[in-house]
């Protein structure tokens, strides 16, 4: 139920994102759904993200509601943890997110910081990406621990490390 509300609350932004997805598909781009988020890449998105995002060199990926558009599939993989934090931000702020984001950039610049990197939403996304990386490392370690319990990795052990 809460998930449904989160999707509805972010829906006006998602609708904008889906227009980009349609453009991408019409221009030969690809699309897929990864953990409840529509991801699109390629086609005209490469040019759009390079030229129309007001950052030096453009952006590799941009989140609009429950849609993430990226230049390429590797860009989607590389930016997923960061962009998922933005998805959660859209779920929190709903239709007000883009305005709130613009205000946060203005506040960052007024304080003498960078409009992008010091924007509080970006700071949260960059911090979230790092937390995600730590969780991933923990998950890999835990998976190994489980594997060891099951003796699945015993064949890869060298004789010296076997007990
Ligand atoms: Zn970001």
Query: pLDDT by residue for the chain (163 residues), tens digit each?
Result: 889 999 999 999 999 999 999 999 999 999 999 999 999 999 999 999 999 898 889 999 999 999 999 999 999 999 999 999 999 999 999 999 999 999 999 999 999 999 999 999 999 999 987 777 777 677 667 665 554 454 443 334 444 444 4
pLDDT number for residue 1:
80
Tell me, in angstroms, the distance from the centre of ligand 1 to residue 158's CA: 44
- CA–centroid distance, 149 to ligand 1, in Å, is 39
CA distance 95 to 56: 27
Compute the distance from residue 151 Cα to the ligand 1 centre, in Å.
Answer: 41
138 lies in which domain range? 2-161
SS (H, E, C) 91-106: HHHHHHHHHHHHHHHH
Q: Are 117 and 106 in contact (CB under 8 A)?
A: no
DSSP lists the bridge partners of residue 61 as 70
- The 10 Å Cβ neighbour count of residue 133 is 11
Closest CA to 126 of 74, 86, 94: 86
pLDDT of residue 159: 45
Distances (CA, A) of 44 to 75, 91, 131: 15, 27, 32
- Tokens of residue 70, six digits: 């990226």
Joined together, the tokens standing for residue 65 give 């509601």
Residue 138, pLDDT score: 73
Give the total number of structural domains in the chain. 1
Tokens 């990795």 — which residue? 153
Q: How far is CA 82 from the centre of its chain?
A: 4
Cα 67 to middle of ligand 1, angstroms? 13
CA of 33 to the centre of ligand 1 (A): 20
């Amino acid at each position: 139920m809460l998930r449904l509300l989160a999707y509805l609350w972010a829906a006006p932004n998602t609708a904008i994102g889906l227009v980009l997805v349609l453009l991408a598909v019409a221009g030969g781009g690809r699309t897929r759904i990864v953990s409840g988020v529509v991801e699109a890449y390629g086609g005209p998105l490469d040019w759009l993200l390079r030229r129309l995002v007001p950052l030096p060199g453009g952006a590799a990926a941009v989140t609009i509601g429950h849609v993430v558009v990226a230049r390429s599939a590797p860009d989607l993989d590389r930016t997923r943890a960061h962009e998922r934090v933005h998805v959660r931000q859209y779920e929190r702020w709903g239709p007000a997110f883009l305005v709130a984001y613009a205000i946060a950039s203005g506040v960052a610049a007024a304080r003498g910081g960078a409009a992008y990197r010091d924007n509080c939403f970006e700071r949260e996304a960059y911090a979230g990406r790092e937390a995600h990386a730590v969780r991933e490392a923990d998950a890999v370690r835990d998976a190994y621990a489980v594997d060891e319990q099951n003796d699945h990795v015993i064949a890869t052990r060298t004789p010296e490390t076997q007990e």
